[in-house]
């Protein structure tokens, strides 16, 4: 480990600069160098001149496999060049203390009591849950001080919470477990924290995509040992950009809406004597359609059908990318979006049909894609409110931004897939 002053010097070394280019792109080198320098100075201001390490955990984009992971399905996702970073130092006291840029609070979590605390806010609950998850899965924990900064905008659909979870896991892995926690272990710990401390019935997609790095296809058929398949695809070299569109969205608590999707899929599976839809086939569902509709309801049946078709689409997307059939890949992304809208039904809240920000954004985007004759779009992530993903020709993004601003009055963000997942920065320099 290096002192804060030594770390400031390290950031300017050839290896560190090369790593920053790899993580964020050459065009962002100066900005990111300044960002890390500001992070180190902020740590120094609040915690003094300690020996520190630097950490980074990216956000994620979901390209295929909408709402499939929680039923042991298949997904296509990638880590992105927006991330949560930290300067951190190991301490003797069993207390995690950190400050997050832009927030007034100093967060302190006493590790001698990992039971859920009634007075904890969401951030404290999550960190306490991660520490408890580490213990639950047989890993060591201990105290540290950290200053945290994030470019993964909250409520952006890019998994700011999973990015933060993987950051905390990586710090605990480096300081107390010799860096032994891999992407699967950290993802399960993050999921444990969300299930037990947030009451959020999440799958593993978000955590896995943030932790692993790059563009990956994941098959959760064996949830204990998910199959991860890295893919080589540079969207921009194919002439396309990944674009995230903020639709405006209702900012109500969407937990119940999100939870209804896995719960209804599980309800269908249980009628066949199993737990998840991956354990049955589409043919079984067709053969018992009338009885399942009567007992589970039509929306549950449609959501199960979406699950089966979406798994096949992920396979098709992977095959298309590997064979260089980019037009076929884009067609499958559009099919995924269509299925999410009509079958999965996670593009607006059924309790509030007057607010349909995602369908409005999709309608505008689909019309734009039809006009230019290229591209794809779909709801991004959990849905019901929030963001959509568009994949557009590089030279059309600027004009599309203007159209979104003119019609929706919201923001557009261009993202890139990055090679590195959640890392201890120092290990690579």
In this prediction, residues 216-227 reach a mean pLDDT of 94
366 C-beta neighbours (distance < 10 Å), count:
17
CB 415 within 8 A of CB 81: yes
* 236-415 classified as CATH 3.40.50.20: no
Identify which of 134-138, 235-239, 408-412 has the greatest average pLDDT: 134-138
The architecture in CATH of the region 2-232+418-428 reads 2-Layer Sandwich (3.30)
Q: Is the pLDDT of residue 182 over 90?
A: yes
Q: Is the pLDDT of residue 202 over 80?
A: no
For residue 382, what pLDDT is reported? Answer: 87
For residue 266, what pLDDT is reported? Answer: 98
Q: Is the pLDDT of residue 8 over 60?
A: yes
135 C-beta neighbours (distance < 10 Å), count:
14
| Residue 125 in tokens | 């609950």
For residue 386, what pLDDT is reported? Answer: 86
* pLDDT class of 352 with cuts at 50, 70, 90: confident
For residue 166, what pLDDT is reported? Answer: 97
Q: Is the pLDDT of residue 247 over 70?
A: yes
Of 303-312, 314-323, 388-397, 405-414, where does mean pLDDT reach its minimum? 405-414
For residue 249, what pLDDT is reported? Answer: 67
Q: Quick one: which of 225, 383, 391, 389 has its CA closest to 320?
A: 391
Question: Is the torsion defined by CA of 131, 132, 136, 140 positive or negative?
Answer: positive
For residue 251, what pLDDT is reported? Answer: 54
Across all residues in the chain, what is the average pLDDT? 94
| Residue 283 in tokens | 């043919």
Intervals of CATH 3.30.230.10 along the chain: 2-232+418-428
For 428, what's the count of Cα atoms within 13 Å in the CB-facing half-sphere?
A: 19
Report H helices in 87-243. Answer: 122-136, 160-176, 183-197, 205-212
For residue 165, what pLDDT is reported? Answer: 97
For residue 156, what pLDDT is reported? Answer: 65
Q: What percent of the chain has pLDDT over 90?
A: 85
What is residue 39's three-state secondary structure? helix
- Cα separation values, 422 from 69, 166, 186, 391, Å: 20, 6, 10, 25
pTM exceeding the 0.85 threshold for the entire prediction? yes
* pLDDT class of 252 with cuts at 50, 70, 90: low
| pLDDT digit string, tens, across residues 95-111 | 999 999 988 899 999 99
| Residue 215 in tokens | 């563009």
For residue 147, what pLDDT is reported? Answer: 98
In this prediction, residues 247-268 reach a mean pLDDT of 86
| pLDDT digit string, tens, across residues 308-341 | 999 999 999 999 999 999 999 999 999 999 999 9
For residue 59, what pLDDT is reported? Answer: 94
* pLDDT class of 361 with cuts at 50, 70, 90: very high
In this prediction, residues 409-419 reach a mean pLDDT of 92
Long-range interactions of 131-136: CB distance < 8 A, separation 24+: 131/96, 131/172, 132/192, 132/193, 132/196, 132/197, 133/188, 133/189, 133/190, 133/192, 133/193, 133/196, 134/169, 134/172, 134/189, 136/189, 136/192
Intervals of CATH 3.30.70.890 along the chain: 236-415
CB 145 within 8 A of CB 131: no
| pLDDT digit string, tens, across residues 16-57 | 999 999 999 999 999 999 999 999 999 999 999 999 999 999
183/187 Cα distance (integer angstroms): 6
In this prediction, residues 9-20 reach a mean pLDDT of 97
What is residue 331's three-state secondary structure? helix
CB 76 within 8 A of CB 49: no
301/395 Cα distance (integer angstroms): 41
């Amino acid at each position: 480990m290096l002192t804060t002053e030594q770390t400031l010097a390290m950031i300017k070394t050839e290896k560190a600069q090369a790593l920053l280019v790899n993580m964020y792109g050459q065009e962002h080198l100066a900005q990111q160098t300044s960002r890390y320098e500001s992070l180190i100075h902020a740590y120094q201001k609040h915690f003094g001149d300690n020996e520190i390490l630097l950490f980074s955990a990216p956000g994620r984009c979901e390209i295929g496999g909408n709402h499939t992971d929680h039923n042991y399905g298949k997904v296509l996702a990638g880590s992105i060049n927006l991330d949560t970073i930290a300067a951190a130092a190991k301490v003797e006291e069993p207390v995690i203390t950190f400050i997050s840029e832009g927030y007034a609070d100093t967060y302190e979590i006493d590790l001698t009591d990992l039971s859920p605390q009634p007075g904890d806010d969401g951030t404290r609950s999550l960190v306490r849950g991660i520490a408890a998850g580490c213990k639950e899965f047989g890993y060591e924990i201990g105290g540290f001080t950290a200053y945290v900064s994030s470019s993964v905008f909250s409520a952006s659909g890019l998994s700011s919470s999973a990015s933060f979870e993987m950051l905390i896991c990586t710090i605990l892995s480096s300081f107390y477990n010799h860096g032994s926690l891999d992407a699967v272990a950290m993802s399960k710990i993050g999921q444990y924290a969300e299930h037990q401390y947030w009451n959020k019935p999440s799958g593993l997609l978000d955590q896995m995509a943030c932790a692993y790095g790059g563009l990956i296809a994941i098959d959760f058929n064996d949830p204990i040992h998910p199959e991860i398949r890295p893919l080589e695809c540079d969207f921009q070299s194919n002439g396309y950009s990944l674009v995230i569109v903020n639709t405006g969205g209702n900012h109500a608590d969407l937990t119940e809406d999100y939870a209804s999707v896995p719960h209804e899929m599980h309800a269908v599976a249980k009628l066949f004597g199993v737990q998840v839809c991956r354990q049955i086939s589409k043919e079984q569902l067709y053969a018992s359609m009338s009885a399942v509709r009567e007992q589970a309801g039509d929306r549950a049946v449609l959501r199960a059908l979406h699950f089966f078709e979406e798994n096949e689409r992920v396979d098709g997307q992977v095959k298309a990318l590997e064979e260089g059939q980019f037009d076929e890949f884009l067609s499958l992304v559009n099919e995924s979006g269509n299925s999410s809208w009509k079958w999965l039904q996670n593009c607006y809240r059924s309790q509030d049909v007057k607010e349909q920000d995602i369908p409005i954004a999709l309608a505008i985007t689909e019309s734009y894609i039809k006009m230019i004759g290229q591209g794809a779009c779909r709801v991004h992530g959990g849905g019901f409110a929030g963001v959509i993903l568009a994949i557009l020709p590089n030279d059309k993004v600027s004009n599309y931004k203007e159209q979104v601003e003119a019609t929706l009055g919201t923001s557009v963000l261009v993202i890139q897939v990055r090679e590195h997942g959640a890392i201890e920065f120092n290990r690579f320099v």
